[in-house]
Amino acid sequence: MRKLFALALINLGGCATVGTGATSNRAADYVRLAASSDAYEIESSRLALQRSRDPWVRAHATLMIRDHGYTSAQLASAAAEQGIAVPAGMMPMQAAMMRTLEGSASFDATYRQQQIDVHRQALALHDRYARRGDRPALRGVAAVAVPLERSHLDHLRP
């Protein structure tokens, strides 16, 4: 999965990597990566509500849909103010993660591990952009997302 993420970065020219997460100081790259991450979080969590009977998974999925719906709205608003289009759908890495999740025989375990991976990546993305991004309005969005991503990671830890 990490290799897929690295390959997705090749198409984003100018992105740097921090750990296994993608980061960028450029607004268009940040918007594309953050939007894809949110789309994955929402869609994978909708799938979790359909497939899982585990109360923890269902509660986490509900939280992800709510919180990432909020961050998506904030990102879309700030991006529009900056004249940056928010792409619809997911980037190849997140789409591949969805296919893996959809075909998983151990759905709950796969969902949880993917949630940990994607939240680590999103935390690195938002943290870097909040500190070094090129557009103040989007830095504000990223700064709000950082503690949210941290709280989600805390929720995912056993």
As given in the structure block, the two tokens for residue 21 are 């997460």
pLDDT reading at 120 higher than 60: yes
Closest CA to 68 of 132, 28, 10, 119: 119
Question: Model confidence at 8, in pLDDT bands (50, 70, 90)?
Answer: very low
Quote the pLDDT of residue 7. Answer: 32
CB 9 within 8 A of CB 17: yes
pLDDT per residue over 101-118, tens digit each?
999 999 999 999 999 999
CB 17 within 8 A of CB 7: no
Q: Rounded to an integer, what distance in angstroms lies between the CA atom of residue 143 and that of residue 36?
A: 18
pLDDT per residue over 59-70, tens digit each?
999 999 999 999
Quote the pLDDT of residue 25. Answer: 79
pLDDT per residue over 122-155, tens digit each?
999 999 999 999 999 999 999 999 999 999 999 8
User: 18: which DSSP letter?
Assistant: E
What are the chain's domains? Answer: 2-7+27-156 (1.20.1260.10)
Q: Rounded to an integer, what distance in angstroms lies between the CA atom of residue 84 and that of residue 76?
A: 9
Quote the pLDDT of residue 98. Answer: 98
pLDDT reading at 90 higher than 70: yes
Enter the pTM of the model: 0.84
| Gyration radius of the chain's alpha carbons | 15
Q: Of 3-17, 20-34, 130-144, which gets the smallest average pLDDT?
A: 3-17
As given in the structure block, the two tokens for residue 56 are 């923890």
